[in-house]
Structure 1
Amino acid sequence: MLGTIEARLERERDQLPLWLPVALGLGVASWFMLASRNSWSAFLLAGSALALASLAFGRATRLFRSLGFFALVAVIGASLIWVRAEWMDTETLQRPVASRFVAQVVSVEHLPARETVRLLVRSPSDPDLPHRFRVNIDEEAAPDGVQAGAWVSLNARLMPPPRAAVPGAYDFSQRAWFEGIGATGRAWGDVEIVRPAPGGSWRGWLETRRARLAAHVADRVGAGEGAIAATLATGDRGRIAEEDAEAMRRSGLAHLLAISGLHVTAVIGVAMLLMLKLLALSPRLALHAPLILIAAGGGAVAGLGYTLFTGSEVPTVRACVAAMLVLVGVAMGRDAITLRLVATGALVVLIFWPETLVGPSFQLSFAAVTAIIALHEHPRTKKLLSRRDEPWAKKVGRFALGLLLTGLVVEIALMPIALFHFNKAGLYGALANIVAIPLTTFVIIPLEALALFLDIFGLGAPVWWLVGKTLGLLLSLAHGVSGTPGAVALLPAMPMAAYALMIGGGLWFCLWKAQWRFFGFAPILAGALWALVTPAADILVTGDGQHMAVRGGDGTLALLRPRAGDYVRDMFNETSGVEDEAGALDDLGSAWCSHDSCRVTLWRGGRQWRIFATRSSYYLPYPALIEECTAADIVVSDRRMPEGCAPRWLLADRTTLRETGGLAITLSSPSVRTVLEPGDDHPWRRSGQ
């Protein structure tokens, strides 16, 4: 057996370096999944012991050498994220406050679709506030001159960074910790500029130019198309209407709105092509100068400038790093589009930003690129899609077939990631992207660049009209696909272990070349089956106890508080994997509700469950409350229940929820999942929320 494995590893020795970022990512992921310092220390010690033992006693075999290096790199990954998390030491607000303060603006984000301006500020005059936090102000209240470097005075109500409301929901507190954001909130009243931004601030200058360009592009194109055009030019997504953004998500085209590999590649490609053609006009340069090298340098400058101008978001930086590696390969005359490029880019990102591993952006982008390259490196795919001397109709058909195959592979690769993070995934994205990607890359972005250039001479209007028409076609495609029946697959929150099986199996299949790569299908299928058979929670309770959703027999949700806002409704729907509008608990046939409380009966797992929940600020008479508690299996309340309240199975009141966070309760096989784990020592948990 060992001999067979050794022989296979020997044949696949060129693929072994591809597992270095996987090992680094395993260490980072393990630190996030394990809860306590003792667990982290045990992981580091176990990994170090495995590495030392493998390298000490198995150096003669490739299997044990590979295992030793894998364990060592995993230890490095866990150490990197632990050190980075502790080094951030974000000062976090402990409880809601309302305050007037003076603070310096770090960055400004305009959100016209919400009529809001979002400020990231630091060094507030109020010593009780965190050093750095985020606050939204009304667009009308934002004075001229609000830019990075300015000092502003305002009133605001601030909250600690919100953690996940229920298990499986988005946890902003984790992201806020690594971004150094200690609070979020909203301002009221007038905002005054105490001290304008210094004239020499490059960040303020860049933000001002970016905002002006976004406004200029949006105005030249107009309507929803203008918002998309501004996004492609500057990365500013604040103008996009929610219905357009949702259509792009449901149709699998949302990646076009995030400035990433597609956009950076298009900018660099256009810059290289223009520079190459212009330089080639000179016979002397064409014959004696290294035009490819010069064009690659020009493309690199264009890519770096575009990355800075669009806000230097982590996905854009990742794409820029990968593009720079490709340009280096082009300058050296090497084939740079390989899985080793992807592995190198992943290593760079994980070394400098290890926390990005657990975010959907990192996983989606690297999964897509890995799947694409693995597909096109396969000999059969190369044979099928390679260029050849044939009629143009066949060339177009072969190109379309390549796009379709690429889209299908990307959709399959991204579906488990989208379902895990967002509980939904588009099913027709492969078909939509056959049109959308060429349209955006070869038509919209070049036309927009040409229109901006012609605006220098006041001649851009006809081209802007073309930009608007092509973007209108893109939006029509998004709305048409998103409105097609069955366009979106929905799934309740899946177990972490099921997701890990699918990711591990996918990596095994993509990173090997020999026949044993097909062994990866076993964990993929096991994880998919596990996710599909995992039932949605019967009851969801938010961490503050104010909101509860009960799943009815038809799968729809009924809310304890019918006037809950859109955010709460969307969060419950996404976590439960349902799309129908949530109703009121009052309308559930097995429920009885008054203004102050609700009592509902559910049949699950062959038995009857009785749930009692309070929903107003008024206290019930003590005898009636104790009677309800005694008769109930589960009691939910946003207040602290008296000691005499003893339900048969679970009491989820303010005291309990402070320790557990939000709850996801399954009744068919009774179990409770919590947002907070006992002894969780991650720094954003220790921050005292």
Structure 2
Amino acid sequence: MATRQLQTPIAARLTSIWRGAGDALETRLEAERERIGLWLPVTLGAGIAAWFALPATAHWIGLLLLLAAGLCGGLLIGWQSRLGRLVVVGCGVMAAGVLLIWTRAVWVAAPVLAVPVVTEFSAIVERAEPLPAKGQVRILALPQNRADLPPRVRLTLRSEQAATLTDGETIGVRARLMPPPTASLPSGYDFAQRAWFDRIGAVGTVLGDVSRVPGAGATTPPLRARLSAHIHEQVDGSAGGIAAALVTGDRGAISEADEEAMRRSGLAHLLSISGLHVTAVVGFAMLLTMRLLALNRRLALAGYVLPLAAAAGALAGGGYTLLAGAEVPTLRSFIAALLVLVAFLMGREALTLRLVAAGALIVLIWRPESLAGPSFQLSFAAVTAIIALHESRPMRAFLARRDESVAIRLGRGVVGLLITGLVVEIALAPIALFHFHKAGLYGALANVVAIPLTTFVIMPAEALALLFDSVGLGAPFWWITEQALLALIGLAHGVADAPGAVAMMPSFPGWGFALAIFGGLWLLLWKTPWRRAGAVPLAIGMAALLVQPRPDLLVTGDGRHIAAALPDGSYALLRDRAGDYVRDSMAEAAGVDAPLAALAELDHVECNRDFCRWSQGEGSARRIILASRGRDRIEGPEMAAACAAADVVISDRWLPHECVGRWMTIDRDSLATSGGLALYLGEKPEAVAALKAGDGHPWRLPQQLSGNDEAIPTGDPAR
């Protein structure tokens, strides 16, 4: 009896606390009722992201069951309650996201090449993309009458092999084909995933000459290719490449050095046709149309000028999107521009977070896989940050019109632009660090100059140059365009070469990135003071990155390339003749912005023709590493002693069973299942693999084709 009397007040108190918390949450949600809808695309995206993050079908089904349980829980709370409706809709939309991306991945399924082959085949060129800066042409080809090959392959040719190659042309080639490559290192770029959604089943290089079928397929290059070629004739080098990129989206003529400088300076967004470019085209088209139509008194008085100008802007934006190749970022920007025009015509505020949410929702329903790419994340994060900043009271008060001199007004605008740039850089930093392991620190300052230069000088001058070229008078405008582009490239190099221009970090833990993104969205999307609570998960997520250790060893998926950490924080490569791609990938995964040394040239490393041996770490964490670099066969008994004396043995070939390291033995067999590795050799050694065990995503287990010509040996030629 006494126990019951004691339990009754406790239960009543708990019930009171629960009801009080529920009432407080209801009050918060009521205050934010206009902002709740902004979380629809976030919830849909969370379902899509969960499908990418979870490895197997059982996990996806389990998540759907949990969401169904949550939906039922929301119904128990009550549909009359705002919290109940929020739980029901949130769980339902997140489940829809899981099903949407799952269905999309199954829908685009196409056969993938199983093993590397060298083969001859005829194909139709679906799309040709010149890369003048590299002396190459990249094509999407559709093999004909070859059931043993994927229906779509991506080929790389030398420029002289593919002179005047056009879309729709039929060609015959001998090519080395291989399956789309997976990430060579943990947290690296996984091309196999993107290739799956693009239905590309193999990549390869053309060997020898290309046979052309006279009169077959297209004979005239498409408008986009002709326009790019015309621009390159008017403006040389990387300046011409950027000029072409602004009009057609063709970035192939930009040198690697200049493109890297644009990335390091935070100006790379100018090279991808996105919101800035589409907005400029739509805006200029609307302004010109309004000025011309306003000359007609009848149209002006009837109120037709604005609708017709909006229609002209939409047509100009649509034409520009098609001309630029209708890539996903461009289409996304065009959709957003159309939504702005509709809001403008309806008399509503054009740039709002609701517009951004609607655009994101449309894109995610149309191409759910775009969520996993940096382009979607960077563009929507930037726009969300800009609008949220300019909706805030302090920013509105700072930029409000007032009675002041032109100089002060201009200075206020510059400061506002700088503040906007800083906020955007902060918003984009977690995404850039997660995908690229680097973030520019001076991008806000660079964009204060670069964005007005591009919007008000380069793009108008180039548009006038193309217009006046029709009558042979475009030369002066091309000169202006070229000088402005050279100034832009000079600005990029100046900022990129400044001390501390780039922050480099090692791999960003997935859970930390998720927390940082959630915290950032909480700060940006809510309006009342409880938005400040988002700073907590944001800080925890960024702290996870800051405390993440750099790997002691990095091993690529083929086992050929190894990077070892040095005491001074730099890294050294086992094979010093590795190409730029390998070096860049290693530097990004390690989180260093310095050249990689040659491991064999260091004093503490002992090397012969077949192996290198060195110690890694100090004290109780000291480990002995043995890595092969030769191709000659060595008998197992001869290797046994050396392997037994090493903690880690690494080889790009098969090792005999007598070779066993004290902690880990890495060879071709183990790398086939693990992919690239990051090794942390502390008190408790840990290995992080690029490929997850039991990964059931369709690009990991596709329908495979073997080809029927020469299979390229994948084993050790010396065995």
> Normalized against structure 2, the TM-score is what?
0.93
Report the Cα distance in structure 1 between the residues aligned to 2:96 and 2:29, rounded to whole angstroms.
Answer: 24
From 603, 607, 627, the equivalent of 2:621 is 607
Corresponding residue number in structure 2 for 1:684: 699
Alignment partner, residue 108 of structure 1 = 128
Cα 1:196–1:399, aligned 2, differ >3 Å: closer, same or farther? farther
What is residue 166 of structure 1 aligned with on the other side?
185
Q: Distance in 1 between matches of 2:167 and 2:466?
A: 25
Q: Pick from 68, 71, 74: which aligns with 1:54?
A: 74
Please say if residues 407 and 430 of structure 1, whose CA atoms lie closer than 8 Å, have aligned partners that are also in contact: yes
**Corresponding residue for residue 279 of structure 2:** 265
* Kept in 1: contact 2:600–2:607 (CA 8 A): yes
Pairs within 5 Å for 1:390-401: 390-401=404-415
Question: Which letter does structure 2 place at the counterpart of 1:247?
Answer: A
Aligned to 2:591: 577
Deviations 1:478-504 (A, max 9, x none): 111111111111111111111111101
- State the 1:637 CA deviation: 1.0
Helix, strand or coil at the partner of 1:399: helix
Give 3-state SS (helix, strand or coil) of 1:189's partner.
Answer: strand
Tell me the distance in 2 between the aligned counterparts of 1:537 and 1:131.
40
2:107 is aligned with 1:87 = yes
Q: Does residue 1:673 correspond to 2:688, yes or no?
A: yes
Q: Greater relative contact order: 1 or 2 (C-alpha under 8 angstroms, separation 6 or more)?
A: 2
Separation in structure 1 between the aligned mates of residue 175 and residue 293 of structure 2, nearest angstrom: 56
The residue matched to 1:270 in structure 2 has which SS? helix
Q: 1:454 aligns with which of 468, 474, 478?
A: 468
1:239 to 253, 272, 278: 253
Superimposed CA distance per residue, residues 292-316 of structure 1 (whole angstroms, 9 cap, x where no aligned partner): 1110000000000000000111100
The 8 Å contact of residues 101 and 154 in structure 1, kept in 2 or not, is answered as: yes
Compare 190-199 and 435-444 and name the one that shifted more. 190-199
Amino acid at match of 2:197: F
Q: Residue 13 of structure 2 aligns with which residue?
A: none
Amino acid at match of 1:313: E
- 1:550 aligns with 564
CA distance, structure 1, for counterparts of residue 558 and residue 470 of structure 2: 55
Query: Out of 574, 586, 592, which is 2:600 matched to?
Result: 586
Deviates more, 1:430-439 or 1:563-572: 563-572
Task: Please give the alpha-carbon distance, in whole angstroms, between the structure 1 residues aligned to 2:276 and 2:619.
Answer: 49
Tell me which of 648, 657, 665 is aligned to 1:634: 648
Aligned-residue identity in percent: 52
1:381 aligns to what SS in structure 2? helix
CA shift, 1:13, in A, is 0.5
| Map of 2:710 onto structure 1 | none
In structure 2, the residue corresponding to 1:396 is in which secondary structure?
helix
Aligned equivalents of 1:585, 1:659: Cα separation in 2 = 27
Moved more, 396-405 or 509-518: 396-405
Q: How is 1:240-389 mapped onto 2 (pairs within 5 angstroms)?
A: 240-389=254-403
CA contact (8 A) 1:147 1:197 kept: no
Contact 1:28 1:77 in 2 (8 A): yes
Contact 1:636 1:652 in 2 (8 A): yes
The CA deviation at 1:104 is 1.0
Q: Distance in 1 between matches of 2:552 and 2:304?
A: 66
Would the aligned equivalents of 2:196 and 2:699 in 1 still touch at CA under 8 Å? yes
Q: Secondary structure at the match of 1:619?
A: coil
CA-based RMSD:
1.4
On the 8 A contact 2:170/2:217 being kept in 1, the answer is: no
- SS of match in other structure, 2:362: helix
**How far, CA to CA, are the matches of 2:144 and 2:618 in structure 1?**
53
Give the whole-Å Cα distance in 1 for the aligned partners of 2:266 and 2:211: 42
Q: Which residue of 2 aligns with 1:11?
A: 31
Once the two structures are TM-superposed, the CA of residue 590 in structure 1 deviates from its matched residue by 2.5
Other-structure match for 2:95: 75
- Post-superposition Cα deviations, 1:162-210, rounded to whole Å, max 9, x if no partner, equal 10001011110000000001111110211122264556xxxx86x6211
Instruction: Choose from 527, 541, 547 the match for 2:541.
Output: 527
Name the larger-Rg structure.
Answer: 2
CA distance in 2, matches of 1:327, 1:602: 61
Q: CA deviation at 1:357?
A: 0.5
Match of 1:152 in 2: 171
CA distance in 1: counterparts of 2:415 and 2:621, whole angstroms: 54
TM-score by length of 1: 0.97
Distance of 2:270 and 2:603 partners within structure 1: 45
1:98 to 110, 113, 118: 118
Q: Identify if the C-alpha distance between structure 1 residues 249 and 196 changes in structure 2 by more than 3 Å, giving closer, same or farther.
A: farther
1:325 Cα deviation from its structure 2 partner: 0.4
Asked if 1:135 corresponds to 2:155, the answer is yes
Distance in 2 (CA, whole Å) between partners of 1:599 and 1:196 is 61
In the alignment, structure 1 residue 38 sits paired with structure 2 residue 58:
yes
Report the Cα distance in structure 2 between the residues aligned to 1:16 and 1:197, rounded to whole angstroms.
56
Q: Does 1:186 align with 2:209?
A: no
1:105, distance to aligned residue in structure 2 (A): 1.0
Matched, 1:210 2:230: no
SS at match of 1:211: helix
Question: In structure 1, the residue corresponding to 2:418 is in which secondary structure?
Answer: helix
Contact 1:364 1:414 in 2 (8 A): yes
Cα distance in 1 for residues equivalent to 2:42 and 2:184: 31
| Deviations, residues 400-431 of structure 1 (Å, cap 9, x unaligned) | 11111110000000011111111111100001
1:643, CA displacement in angstroms? 2.0
| Aligned counterparts of 1:497 and 1:477: Cα–Cα separation in 2 | 36
* SS state at 2:301 partner: helix
8 Å contact from structure 2 (residues 519, 538) kept in 1: yes
Out of 139, 150, 161, which is 1:119 matched to?
Answer: 139
Structure 2 CA distance for partners of 1:169 and 1:605, relative to 1, 3 Å: farther
Alignment deviations for residues 600-638 of structure 1 (CA, whole Å, 9 cap, x no partner): 111257332011111111122433300011111111111
Give the 3 Å change call, closer, same or farther, for CA 85–159 of structure 1 in structure 2: same
User: Per-residue deviation at 1:141?
Assistant: 1.2
2:492 is aligned with 1:478: yes
Q: Structure 1 residues 331 and 604 mapped into 2: Cα distance closer, same or farther (>3 Å)?
A: farther
Q: CA deviation at 1:531?
A: 0.3
| d(CA) in 2 for partners of 1:363, 1:143 | 37
Aligned equivalents of 1:442, 1:634: Cα separation in 2: 58
Structure 2: 5+ residue runs without aligned partners? 1-20, 705-719
Note the C-alpha offset of 1:262. 0.3
Residue type of the alignment partner of 2:145: S
Kept in 1, the 8 Å contact 2:143–2:153? The answer is no
2: distance between equivalents of 1:618 and 1:604? 32
Kept in 2: contact 1:148–1:197 (CA 8 A) = no
Aligned position for 1:648: 662
What CA distance in whole angstroms lies between the structure 2 residues aligned with 1:78 and 1:195? 49
Equivalent position amino acid for 1:44 in 2: L
User: 1:387 deviation in Å?
Assistant: 2.7
- For 1:290 and 1:48, the matched residues in 2 are separated by 51
What is the one-letter code of the residue matched to 1:181?
A: I
CA separation of 1:32/1:272 partners in 2, compared to 1, >3 Å: closer, same or farther? same
Could you tell me how far apart the structure 2 residues matched to 1:422 and 1:619 are?
39
How big is the shift at 1:216?
Answer: 1.2
Question: Cα gap change, 1:534/1:489 in structure 2, threshold over 3 Å: closer, same or farther?
Answer: same
